[in-house]
Structure 1
Amino acid sequence: MQARMQNPAYALPSAVKGIGGLVRAIEEGGISKQLKELVALRASQINGCSACVYGHVHGLTKEGETPERIAAVAAWREAPFFTDDERTALELTERVTRLADLSEEPVPDELWDRVTDAFDEKQISALLFTIGMTNMFNRLNASVREPAGTTWD
């Protein structure tokens, strides 16, 4: 499959500049590249974005992530490979990504309490921006049919 057009982020030079600013801001949050890639992979799996799934698997592999953990991200609840903090971040990712599927509060207080126990305000901000930006790219890539095989490093 071929993309319908170039990625919209590249078609608008100011968008690339703005995205670069967001990426730098996320880096200020102090969460590991590995955690960013885990949550981005999970959001991309939920949204069915093959380009992003491919890119985040590539990123995790580059960070030295094990094949077992990468393969288990889609079933993280049943897999023994994740820390409590990673599980909290993955649950937050699912809740924020599936907003339209929820008939209840998107992020219940019980989950928020676990998030604030695991991460400080800057880290939470970085997680939320990572999740939000990933969802944006999932939607852009799905719209233009960006094929798997692209990496962003």
Structure 2
Amino acid sequence: MSITDNQSQTTQRLSIQEVDPDAYKGMLAIEKYVHSGDLEPKTIHLLKIRASQLNGCAYCLDMHTTEARKDGEDQRRLDVVSAWREATSWFSEPEQAVLEFTEQMTLIGQGGVSDEVWARVKASYTDSQVVRLLMAVSAINVWNRLAISTHQTLPAL
């Protein structure tokens, strides 16, 4: 692939926020809901990062790893999120449950969320928190699909 071909693939196709601010506001309302509860910010960051890894969304990975670092997340944990099963001592049981839950929700067509994973999440979170987790994973998957489909431009290095 030539540089020209690569540039044409990464040119942003449109800005949803500019074209239809109401559509963008709807997504922001879900984000506000997710962040208004009692889920730890580190948990939300981890699930957003894991879903974005699975979906291959560079824009969201850049955003959410940057936000996680600003909130005090350890860089080494961020470096191994995609291989969390090999670094279980670095992630709490609730975090591991959320990471697996995120994977199964993101890859929903591969069998859905298993009873085992559901039980692991329920062992660590209240029903209200589970609803927020469901909404958080759903929202990041929508954001990923929007960013990838529109070729959302990455901020400059």
Give the residue type in structure 1 aligned to 2:151.
Answer: R
Which deviates more, 9-18 or 89-98?
A: 9-18
The match for 2:4 is: none
- Preserved contact between residue 52 and residue 148 of structure 1 (Cα < 8 Å): no
Which structure shows the bigger proportion of residues in helix conformation? Answer: 2
Cα RMSD between the aligned structures?
1.6
The match for 1:5 is: 13
For 1:74 and 1:7, the matched residues in 2 are separated by 29
User: With structure 2 as the length reference, what TM-score do the two structures score?
Assistant: 0.86
- Residue 25 of structure 1: CA displacement? 1.5
Q: Deviations over 1:97-120 (max 9, x none)?
A: 0112x1x3x111111111111100
Specify the SS of the correspondent of 2:120.
helix
User: With structure 1 as the length reference, what TM-score do the two structures score?
Assistant: 0.89
- Residue 10 of structure 1: CA displacement? 4.0
Q: Deviations over 1:63-86 (max 9, x none)?
A: 111111000101011013100000
Higher Cα Rg: structure 1 or 2?
Answer: 2
The match for 1:22 is: 30
Structure 1 runs of 4+ with >4 Å offset? none
Question: Aligned in 2, Cα 1:15/1:65: closer, same or farther, shift over 3 Å?
Answer: same
Question: Aligned in 2, Cα 1:143/1:69: closer, same or farther, shift over 3 Å?
Answer: same
Specify the SS of the correspondent of 2:68.
helix
- Preserved contact between residue 31 and residue 139 of structure 2 (Cα < 8 Å): no
Specify the SS of the correspondent of 1:29.
coil
In percent, how many aligned pairs have the same letter?
31
Is the counterpart of residue 131 in structure 1 residue 153 in structure 2? Answer: no
Unaligned runs of 5+ in 2: 1-6
For 2:32 and 2:83, the matched residues in 1 are separated by 30
Give the residue type in structure 2 aligned to 1:28.
Answer: S
Is the counterpart of residue 97 in structure 1 residue 97 in structure 2? Answer: no
The higher relative CO (CA closer than 8 Å, separation ≥ 6) is in 1
Question: Aligned in 2, Cα 1:129/1:84: closer, same or farther, shift over 3 Å?
Answer: same
- Preserved contact between residue 12 and residue 153 of structure 2 (Cα < 8 Å): no
1:39 to 38, 47, 50: 47
Q: Paired residues, what number? A: 147
Which deviates more, 107-116 or 46-55?
A: 107-116
